[in-house]
Amino acid sequence: MNVEIDSESGFCFGVVNAIKLAEQSLGERGCVFSLGDIVHNGLEMERLEGLGLRTIAHGNLTASMQGETVLVRAHGEPPQTYEAAAEAGIEVIDATCPVVAKLQRTVAAAHARMTERGGQVVILGKRGHAEVVGLTGQARGGAEVIVVEGENDLNTVDFERPIYFLSQTTQSLELFGRISDELMRRAHDAEEVTVHDTICRAVASREGRLGEFAKRHDVVVFVSGRKSSNGRLLFEVCREANPHSYMVEGADDMQPEWFAGARSVGVCGATSTPKWVMESVARAVGVHDGR
């Protein structure tokens, strides 16, 4: 049986950069705290915890952590987080992905513009996702910032007023296009709708190519942490292209019957999937095959 690992799956540069910064600071300090998981992958988190990384929640940013070091992960944080850390005397290592940092500035500018014009900012994103919390946090007072997850949420938008529409970096281009069309169609004045595509191409460019990869194989094993929103999105791409697609967190989740009669197996993953986990899954596929 032929087993191929997708050469373009795995960490995007934003996550590579955050992990590098974490490893570097762990090497210097021995113990570093991260606000939430640096990467939505349990196995990679276990590896980093072995190096001294500790995950904390926002409520921990108090004076009891004075002198400690906290890493802001690639998803970014709202300004309130930096303020709480400064007040508590906590050092911050900022691993916000440059693409997300730019988007935060874009949201702040869009919010200022909409406040001036009596409009609203609409963000396509997952409510409560760390990146989205960082984006909505750029707006304090003034125009509302409305998060929509799909067409069903559009009744929260006031179509009589100007709209500035943008997206969380990891959303689907297809959904963004559909929502933009709908906003234009329902707006009282389509000229008052600004559409700003802020989807990160490190993810978007993978969709089409991943579908081709999935079609090339009899069975596809998609490796991803279950908490990864990008993982769920890309897994759907695989499943649409090839119904014999299975999602696993690691080699232990695989079942031998998936591979019965398969001549070729493709192993791929999300932007938060480490290469070393895909490699161990690929080796285990060979074992399930009886070799």
Interacting residues with ligand F3S (CB under 6 A): 12-15, 74, 97, 99-100, 169-170, 200, 202-203, 271
Q: Which residue is nearest to ligand F3S (CB)?
A: 14
> What is the edge-to-edge ordering of all strands in the sheet holding 120-124?
145-148, 120-124, 163-167, 193-195
Question: Could you tell me the CA-to-CA distances from 289 to 98, 242, 246, 262, 279 in Å, in that order?
Answer: 42, 20, 16, 9, 16
State which residue, 200 or 267, has the beta carbon closest to ligand F3S: 200
What is the closest distance, in whole angstroms, from the C-beta atom of residue 253 to ligand F3S in the complex?
Answer: 24
What is the closest distance, in whole angstroms, from the C-beta atom of residue 199 to ligand F3S in the complex?
Answer: 9
Q: Assess contact for 271 and 235: CB atoms under 8 A.
A: no
Catalytic residue (choose from 28, 131, 174, 249):
131
State which residue, 75 or 111, has the beta carbon closest to ligand F3S: 75
Residue 210, SS3? helix
State which residue, 14 or 137, has the beta carbon closest to ligand F3S: 14
Nearest residue to 130 (alpha-carbon basis) of 173, 61, 78, 82: 78
Q: CA angle, 60 as apex, 101 and 139 as ends, to 5°?
A: 35
Q: CA angle, 11 as apex, 7 and 16 as ends, to 5°?
A: 125
Fill in the amino acid letter for 135: L
State which residue, 41 or 169, has the beta carbon closest to ligand F3S: 169
State which residue, 13 or 159, has the beta carbon closest to ligand F3S: 13
The pair of structure tokens assigned to 188 is: 């009282």
Nearest residue to 84 (alpha-carbon basis) of 118, 150, 35: 35
Active-site residue, 131 included: yes
Q: Which residues are catalytic?
A: 131
